[in-house]
Structure 1
């Protein structure tokens, strides 16, 4: 991979704020930073999609809605409804948490059906599937990537970044190897420095989820 400029890297960043106590002012700050640094998107909880959309309208910055966050254990119909509301309120992309327990049960049909339901509810908007790779075996990672490719989703995501270990380079490489070159891979988890961000991109990530976007970009600008 050619050396990334600060501008190039910024266009791969989903600037993220999912804290339970995130205030309106903090969402406004998030969106202002995304505008200023030309990040690809902001990623927020579904109740903040409408606000983020209003703040970023005509800016070129996309709005990603989290769905089923952070556990992924809600009923599939609940996730579908949350997706529909997020779309109605302006979400450009949906990022939802896989039902990990059902995957570990070996219930591949449930996992696939849930993905397809959310893809349908997203109404042609990109859907990203959050895997929580640190909770999965290698075989489970490969299986769920194969299901995602078949489902109509566009991305797999390493984790929620919700009290989880930092994303492993090896996991990004495995996901890229499994889904192929044209499918999206988003790296999430403890990304706070430019050198780490670049290493993940070199490993095969096409997008990065982090709340440290301004710091990362500044690390390349300085």
Structure 2
């Protein structure tokens, strides 16, 4: 995998809660400079990021139900629709972990399905926080996500412990099959990490340390 191939797979993120408007502006300019295709910012900054990046053909994505997943479905749907109205073109939604752990699989599937419906054809990725799940729960989550019509399963937010591992990515790929999206995020700090994750089956990488990653440096980022 060469540098350009990696650049095209990266979702560059700035999701820290203390990010200022100036931070977002600098982040967007860095995105343009390095040629990343998609960024993720918190909902409050979608409009601002979109105003800078849209003329460059760079998509703005938004996390939904971030970073715990416990919001009601109605809230997640409203958040999705507002973000899209503000210019968001990709959706990363955190699964309802409590409902999944409770065995309320119909609730989990409906939660995802309603957000997918609200996204109206936009790419939708569902975060499952692999570090917080058993292997059986990871398998179940993947099956629910596919049944609900989403486009990707995503490993982690990077905010709730753990992150992407080769073993988890390999598992998710084995469950979803070759044609479904697998996004690895959380703790991918080096170019070598990225290569290993892609070889395990990821076809999208989320990181706030994208510049260091493509430069062959070590990122200190955990998300």
Measured against the shorter chain, the TM-score band is over 0.9
**CA–CA distance in structure 2, aligned partners of residues 166 and 129 of structure 1:** 14
**CA–CA distance in structure 2, aligned partners of residues 181 and 14 of structure 1:** 21
**CA–CA distance in structure 2, aligned partners of residues 62 and 186 of structure 1:** 16
Q: Which residue of 2 aligns with 1:97?
A: 94
**CA–CA distance in structure 1, aligned partners of residues 159 and 38 of structure 2:** 19
1:196 aligns with 2:158: no
**CA–CA distance in structure 2, aligned partners of residues 74 and 163 of structure 1:** 16
After superposition, the Cα gap between the structure-2 partners of 1:14 and 1:6, relative to the gap in structure 1 and judged at 3 Å, is same
2:83 match: secondary structure: helix
**CA–CA distance in structure 1, aligned partners of residues 178 and 58 of structure 2:** 24
1:25 aligns with 2:22: yes
The answer to whether the 8 Å contact 1:44/1:66 transfers is yes
Deviates more, 1:74-83 or 1:162-171: 162-171
* Runs of 5+ consecutive residues of structure 1 not aligned to the other structure: none
Map 1:1-222; keep pairs closer than 5 Å.
4-219=1-216
**CA–CA distance in structure 1, aligned partners of residues 37 and 127 of structure 2:** 18
2:216 match: secondary structure: helix
**CA–CA distance in structure 1, aligned partners of residues 106 and 163 of structure 2:** 30
Distance apart, 1:58 and its partner CA: 2.4
**Cα RMSD between the aligned structures?**
1.1
What TM-score, normalized to structure 2? 0.95
Q: Which residue of 1 aligns with 2:220?
A: none
Cα offsets for 1:20-51 (capped at 9, x unmatched): 11001111121112111111210111111111
Deviates more, 1:174-183 or 1:159-168: 159-168
**CA–CA distance in structure 2, aligned partners of residues 75 and 133 of structure 1:** 21
The answer to whether the 8 Å contact 1:12/1:206 transfers is yes
The answer to whether the 8 Å contact 1:15/1:30 transfers is no
* Runs of 5+ consecutive residues of structure 2 not aligned to the other structure: 218-223
After superposition, the Cα gap between the structure-2 partners of 1:89 and 1:184, relative to the gap in structure 1 and judged at 3 Å, is same
Runs of 4+ in 1 over 2 A off after TM superposition: none
What TM-score, normalized to structure 1? 0.95
